[in-house]
Each structure stands twice: as structure tokens, then as C-alpha cells.
Amino acid sequence: MRNLFNFILRNSHWLLAILLVAFSFYLVFAHNSYQRSVYLTSANNVTGWFYDTSNHITSFFYLKKNNAQLLERNAELEKKYYDLQALLDSVIASDSMVVEAFAPDSITTPQFDFIPAEVVNLSFSGVNNFITLNKGLSHGIRPDMGVISQQGVVGVVANVSPNFSVVIPVINPKFRLSARLKNSENYGSISWDGTNVRQAQLQDLPKHEVFHEGDTVLTSFSRIFPRNLIIGFVSNTGKSGDDNFNTFNVHLATNFYTLQDVLVINDMFYEEQQTLEETLKQ
């Protein structure tokens, strides 16, 4: 307490000056309407700036959380979409009779589920490109699962650890996928020639295949991806090693330069189909 009194006594002239200045400002703003309006306007501007800055900072810290929630919601919507598409296909296929009423859950068993994940590393080192995700075995991810983005096909899970997984993307020479043009039943194979990160090649389509620039390229027969997923769009005709077949350059729907969030496809029938097909090799 004595130290406090000593401090006040030593600095009394400064404290008195501060009090006088504060009192003078009070008199100016209290008895002059113009100065008071300027003060209120300035105070409102400062307060508004403070709250606006505070909201931006708060939004920034919540952005990652909100993005994760949106990705999970998108995974749920993707699952519902494929479930409804499977239901619609089953109804269209049974056109020999008209079903007036039915319980949808009894018609079809959902085949696909989607696991949201974030890209934590993406390598463009030469041709051996890979993508690392922040989900692994503990999240239900296993090798040979398909990976898609909001725009289209991304790649296939190659290796997994408890908390991470590595994906071989479309832009890797090891990647192969059966594909077709949207308005055609002929199918070929998607691969990458190692030259352009935004462009892959659709090979082995018959020479008589009718195509137009901009045609959509979709997944065809695959044990990993559902049918009719978008891969990209025909940009032009590429070089073919066989005169009987066409090769098309395909502008990939997924932009790997900006890829941040993906969905990993969980095919509930994958192991059953694989086990059945393995019996033929024995």
C-alpha cells in the first residue's frame, strides 16, 4: 500500500494532467453538438470495425470445422443418390408389371457408402504421382477403394495405415479404368501418358465410334467404381497405336491442383464379388 501511495505522489503531476485533459474532452463533447456527433460517428466506426474483424477471425477458425461437416453431409447425399438410383433402375427393369405401392427398403439393398476425407499431401513428382488422405484403417478404408471428388473420379486407394491412406490418382501411369462415352455402349480404357496433369487418354474405342468435342466420359465396368461416374470430357482425338481403334484426349473433371476434399467409396458387395471371382482362378 505504501508503494502505491509513493507511486501516486511521485507521478501526481502526470495523473493531474491526464485528469484535466480527460475533463476538458468531456466538456468539449458534452457542450458542443458538432464535436459530439463527430465523436459518436468515430466511435461507431471503430466499434463496427472491431466487430467485423472479430467475426472474420471467428469465421476463419470455424471454417475447417464447417467444411468437414459439409463434406460429411455430401457423403450422406451421395449415398442417398446411389440408393435412389439403384431403386429406380430396379423399378425400370421390372417393366413387365406395374407396382402401385411398395416399401423401398424391401426392393433393394444399398451397395455404396461414402467416407469423407481430406487431402494432406499431393505429389506431382514426375509420373509417380500419389495423394495422401487423413483417413485409414481405423476409419473403414482399405486398399482398392475408389476415390472421387465433387467433380469426378480421383483414383484408387493403394496402401493404408491406421490413420492415413495413399491413393494412386488418374494422373499416374499405373492407373487403369474401364470407361465409355455417355451416349455409347462401347467401352475402352482410361490411362495417363504422363504429359498433362489435366488430361488423360481414353483408348481402345472402335474406329466407328461417333463422338463430339465435349462429350462426357463415364465409368463403365469396374469392381471399384459405380457405373456412370464422371471422369472428364473429350477434348480432341489423340494418337492411336492401332488403326482399328480410336484414342481420345480427355479433359479430367477433377482439378488436382486445387483438390482438398474427397469421398472414398465403400462398396458393401466388394468382398463378396471378389471371393466369387477368385473361385474361378483356383
Are 142 and 48 in a shared domain?
A: no
Average pLDDT over residues 52-77: 62
Output b/e per residue, 73-106; b: 16+ Cβ within 10 A. Answer: eebeebbeebbeebbeeeeeeeeeeeeeeeeeee
Helix (H) / strand (E) containing 36: helix 33-93
Average pLDDT over residues 122-126: 80
Are 117 and 240 in a shared domain?
A: yes
Question: What is the pLDDT, as a whole number, of residue 119?
Answer: 92
- Judge whether 23 lies within some domain: yes
Are 20 and 148 in a shared domain?
A: no
DSSP string, 49-117: HHHHHHHHHHHHHHHHHHHHHHHHHHHHHHHHHHHHHHHHHHHHHTTTS------HHHH----EEEEEE
Q: Report the domain count for the chain.
A: 2
Are 266 and 142 in a shared domain?
A: yes
Question: What is the pLDDT, as a whole number, of residue 232?
Answer: 94
- Judge whether 64 lies within some domain: no
CA distances from 164 to 15, 46, 117, 139, 155 (A): 62, 46, 10, 9, 15
Are 129 and 256 in a shared domain?
A: yes
**What is d(CA 100, CA 82) in angstroms, rounded to the nearest whole number?**
22
Are 159 and 243 in a shared domain?
A: yes
- Judge whether 216 lies within some domain: yes
- Judge whether 80 lies within some domain: no
CA–CA–CA angle 79, 81, 87 (5° rounding): 105
Beta bridge partners of 230: 218
CA distances from 114 to 71, 161, 239 (A): 10, 19, 36
Question: What is the pLDDT, as a whole number, of residue 59?
Answer: 52
- Judge whether 71 lies within some domain: no
Grid cell digits, residue 264: 472414398
Please say if the pLDDT value at position 83 is more than 80.
Answer: no
Query: Last residue of some domain: 59, 84, 104?
Result: 59
> Which range (79-83, 169-173, 206-210, 273-277) has the least confidence?
79-83
- Judge whether 150 lies within some domain: yes
Are 47 and 121 in a shared domain?
A: no
Are 130 and 213 in a shared domain?
A: yes
**What are residue 119's phi and psi, to 5 degrees?**
-80, 120
Are 201 and 276 in a shared domain?
A: yes
- Judge whether 68 lies within some domain: no
Supply the pTM of this predicted model.
0.64
CB 109 within 8 A of CB 125: no
Grid cell digits, residue 278: 477368385
Are 190 and 270 in a shared domain?
A: yes
Helices and strands in the chain: count of H runs, count of E runs = 5, 12
38 against 139, higher pLDDT = 139
CATH number for the domain that contains residue 185: 2.40.10.340
Most confident of the following: 10-19, 82-91, 176-185: 176-185
- Judge whether 82 lies within some domain: no
Average pLDDT over residues 48-62: 55
Q: Which structural domain, as residue segments, surrounds residue 234?
A: 112-282
Share of the chain above pLDDT 90, in %: 29
Question: What is the pLDDT, as a whole number, of residue 282?
Answer: 66
Please say if the pLDDT value at position 90 is more than 60.
Answer: no
Are 140 and 265 in a shared domain?
A: yes
CB 201 within 8 A of CB 250: yes
Are 54 and 136 in a shared domain?
A: no
